[in-house]
């Protein structure tokens, strides 16, 4: 049996629209696959994993990272790799990687306790944004318009469970033109991009942002390519914010990107390109 005859593992727990579409595309191409439910899969001595490779769509970051590391340990190539998950799963680590590569990130500050941030925020400048380093869908991302809001939010952050919530990652608030950009970059190539527009300060689709097609200009394309180069070879959803002068900043990089909004507006076959990329990397 050649490795091509082995099934592809698809790591997931909840099957949302994205996963349904990817599984349907694999079916359509008659690519054999096994759905590995990350909640019940057992790893360890005596547990062999005979797969052609794996596509990971687990929604929970920690479980995603561990499942991927465990499969890689068993010799399975996973898209995205644990190295990408490790960086992109943490917004601060992503920023460090991008800044080290000389890319335009949003001016930031970090303290390792919430109370450490309060006395220096006035100097940093309001409005500012504080957000969990691990998280998504805009959850718990807070805009701080001044000292009173900062004091309240930081006190609440301090009461959140888990040591990671003490890490206090602050960004300058970018006065966006009512929209943000999400670009889908696969293997370094920009496959498509959308704007998400909203009157809210959090313009992401999960918060009601309306998707529309974005045709990247040269500056944006260069930034996307360089971002992917810094992060690694994989399927990436790159969040870019523009300020009122038109300057671009990379906000974060999603390692297991959602694309339901993009499917509504993009002409490109995002799902097909996603599967093409995975198959090209797993051999
Ligand atoms: N520094 C910022 N300035 C302006 N808007 C921001 C800033 N950071 C986040 N936002 C808004 O909040 C949304 C959620 O923040 P984000 O960092 O993308 O986290 P996630 O998508 O993982 O929840 C973004 O899509 C954007 O609309
Ligand atoms: Mg985001």
pLDDT digits (tens, 9 = 90+) for 18-71: 999 999 999 999 999 999 999 999 999 999 999 999 999 999 999 999 999 999
For ligand 1, pick from 92, 204, 208 the residue to mutate: most ligand atoms within 8 Å of CB: 204
Q: How many CA atoms lie within 13 A of 17 on its CB side?
A: 8
Is residue 25 within 8 Å of residue 18, measured between CB atoms? Answer: no
pLDDT at residue 205 in the model: 65
Indicate whether residue 94 lines ligand 1 (CB < 6 A): no
Task: Tell whether 186 and 231 lie within a shared domain.
Answer: yes
Q: What is the residue-averaged pLDDT of the chain?
A: 96
Round to the nearest angstrom and report the end-to-end CA distance of the chain. Answer: 14
Q: Is the pLDDT of residue 1 over 70?
A: no
Q: Is the pLDDT of residue 5 over 90?
A: no
Q: From 270, 208, 279, 228, select the one nearest 101 (Cα to Cα).
A: 228
Task: Tell whether 166 and 182 lie within a shared domain.
Answer: no
Q: Is the pLDDT of residue 267 over 70?
A: yes
Which tens digit of pLDDT belongs to each residue from 168-205? 999 999 999 999 999 999 999 999 999 999 999 998 86
Task: Tell whether 150 and 225 lie within a shared domain.
Answer: no
Task: Tell whether 208 and 158 lie within a shared domain.
Answer: no
Q: Which atom of ligand 1 is nearest to the CA of 171?
A: 1
E-strand stretches of the chain: 8-12, 33-37, 53-56, 78-79, 108-111, 128-131, 142-144, 168-172, 179-186, 189-197, 210-213, 235-242, 248-254
CATH number, domain with residue 142? 3.30.1490.20
Which tens digit of pLDDT belongs to each residue from 88-141? 999 999 999 999 999 999 999 999 999 999 999 999 999 999 999 998 888 899
Q: From 1, 10, 58, select the one nearest 31 (Cα to Cα).
A: 10
| Residues spanned by the domain of 33 | 3-87
pLDDT at residue 151 in the model: 98
For ligand 1, pick from 95, 105, 251 the residue to mutate: most ligand atoms within 8 Å of CB: 251
CATH number, domain with residue 259? 3.30.470.20
Task: Tell whether 183 and 264 lie within a shared domain.
Answer: yes
- The total number of structural domains in the chain stands at 3
**DSSP 8-state assignment for residue 116:** H
Is the omega angle on the peptide bond into residue 80 within 30 degrees of 0, that is, cis?
A: yes
- Tell me the percentage of the chain whose pLDDT exceeds 90: 93
Q: Is the pLDDT of residue 14 over 80?
A: yes
Q: From 9, 199, 170, 7, select the one nearest 91 (Cα to Cα).
A: 170
- Does some domain include residue 37? yes
Task: Tell whether 76 and 142 lie within a shared domain.
Answer: no
Cα 243 to middle of ligand 1, angstroms? 13
Q: Which atom of ligand 1 is nearest to the CA of 239?
A: 18
Indicate whether residue 258 lines ligand 1 (CB < 6 A): no
Which domain-ending residue is among 132, 155, 172?
172
Average pLDDT over residues 200-227: 92
- Tell me the percentage of the chain whose pLDDT exceeds 70: 98
Give the ligand with the smallest distance to the CA of 241. 1
Which domain-ending residue is among 151, 172, 193?
172
Task: Tell whether 261 and 187 lie within a shared domain.
Answer: yes
Task: Tell whether 140 and 189 lie within a shared domain.
Answer: no
Task: Tell whether 238 and 207 lie within a shared domain.
Answer: yes
- Does some domain include residue 93? no
Average pLDDT over residues 156-168: 95
Which tens digit of pLDDT belongs to each residue from 57-88? 999 999 999 999 999 999 999 999 999 999 99
pLDDT at residue 281 in the model: 97
Indicate whether residue 182 lines ligand 1 (CB < 6 A): no
Average pLDDT over residues 250-270: 97
pLDDT band for 279, please (50, 70, 90 cuts): very high
Task: Tell whether 192 and 147 lie within a shared domain.
Answer: no
Cα 181 to middle of ligand 2, angstroms? 10
Q: From 170, 83, 68, select the one nearest 123 (Cα to Cα).
A: 170
Chain centroid, CA 190 distance in Å: 15
Task: Tell whether 163 and 186 lie within a shared domain.
Answer: no
Task: Tell whether 139 and 229 lie within a shared domain.
Answer: no
pLDDT at residue 246 in the model: 96
Indicate whether residue 129 lines ligand 1 (CB < 6 A): yes
């Amino acid at each position: 049996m050649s490795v091509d005859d082995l099934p592809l593992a698809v790591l997931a727990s909840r099957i949302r629209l994205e996963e349904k579409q990817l599984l349907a595309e694999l079916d359509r191409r008659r690519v054999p696959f096994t759905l590995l439910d990350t909640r019940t899969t057992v790893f360890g001595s005596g547990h062999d994993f005979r797969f052609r490779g794996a596509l990971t769509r687990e929604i929970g970051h920690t479980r995603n990272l561990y499942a991927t590391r465990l499969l890689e340990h068993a010799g399975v190539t996973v898209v995205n790799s644990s190295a990408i998950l490790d960086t992109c799963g943490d917004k601060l680590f992503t920023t460090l990687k991008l800044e080290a590569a000389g890319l335009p990130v949003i001016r930031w500050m970090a303290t390792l306790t919430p109370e450490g941030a309060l006395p220096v925020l006035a100097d940093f400048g309001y409005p500012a944004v504080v957000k969990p380093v691990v998280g998504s869908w805009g959850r718990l991302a807070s805009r701080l318009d001044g000292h009173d809001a900062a004091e309240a939010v930081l006190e609440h952050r301090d009461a959140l469970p888990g040591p990671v919530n003490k890490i206090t990652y602050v960004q300058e608030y970018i006065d966006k033109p009512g929209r943000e950009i999400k670009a889908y970059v696969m293997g370094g190539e920009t496959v498509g991009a959308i704007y998400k527009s909203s009157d809210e300060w959090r313009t992401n689709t999960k918060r009601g942002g309306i998707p529309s097609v974005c045709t990247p200009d040269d500056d944006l394309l260069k930034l996307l390519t360089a971002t992917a180069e810094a992060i690694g070879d994989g399927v990436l959803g790159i969040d870019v914010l523009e300020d009122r002068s038109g300057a671009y900043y990379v906000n974060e990089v999603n390692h297991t990107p959602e694309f339901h909004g993009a499917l509504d507006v993009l002409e490109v076959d995002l799902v097909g390109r996603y599967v093409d990329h995975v198959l090209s990397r797993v051999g």
